[in-house]
Structure 1
């Protein structure tokens, strides 16, 4: 579990593609790696990756992680290359200040930057809204973009395609890879975890209510001799 508060920006050092997917080595730069061990989770551009090798050298730390074919197909990793910058966040602790929102590190899809506009000292980004995720995205609701916890400030339609707006303050631009985004950049998106589970619960509830009721009763079973 993560909070969506980015701790550092890393850089992809190597990408080795194999039949199962790929193995990455990420240079962590300012990320404190002193407490990272094998098997720990680090959100890498919003994708929860398991550390399989670790270098804890201060200022020169790195970790290796395997990325499955499923992850490559569902996320923007297919567009990454050696030298690409990535947002990093270590898995939260029970004692961690909850500054963002609940982020699972399980990316739902890929969105595209449609427009970038200055607004005072902030920057507005309009992003495409994948059709199968549109009903999870609400104005003033939470969304995760490349691992960063953000608030949706507006929704709109661009022809038949939905889009949403994010207003990014200078600190977030400086502390993440937002400064590198251009129109056309593909980003990982994770919708609000609570919205996803709420939909599942409501769907199951509706299915139970619409399911045909059985005519079997306790009295019928008693009469037939199945119970005494």
Structure 2
């Protein structure tokens, strides 16, 4: 996968893309990153990328020309049009399902805005997706782009090493993930559930399903409304409700 990021603050990405799983993914050849300052595409000597809004109002608006030209340049040579993602609080809420969808693409371009907003022609004629990471406003799209890139890259083949790691993540299955424990089995009187140390793999799997249902029912019951329970899951959820 190729990931291009357009930002007027490219230095913000050095630590994130050069660390941990994102760095290892690039070293493995699963992904390549390129962060571009779209001021470089401005067609004026002062490299101005924003201007006052027509009709008046507070703030400045990003001009279409630098961003259109940057995306055109970064897309050259592609057999397939890239997904062009606008980070915007008005966009659809990012989700695990969206991350899984984007992880199937060959080329992603993220546009990180600042100031008051974008010229509407960018939305209407250039982008393929508008995404928000939450119902709040940040000073720019950079942090949102970092979040989405992380959520996508970890899904690429061989990035995590164990394919089951992300398949059982919260939201990947439609439910929240079950609790995890590690050694020691008894820490200051706080003990690991006996089922997990029993060696009985079928019982362990049933415990994990049940605790996943319990956590989802208690914390995000809305997820269960869109989830189709198996017969076993329905039985276990009934048990959970009686226990609680």
TM-score (norm 1): 0.25
TM-score (norm 2): 0.24
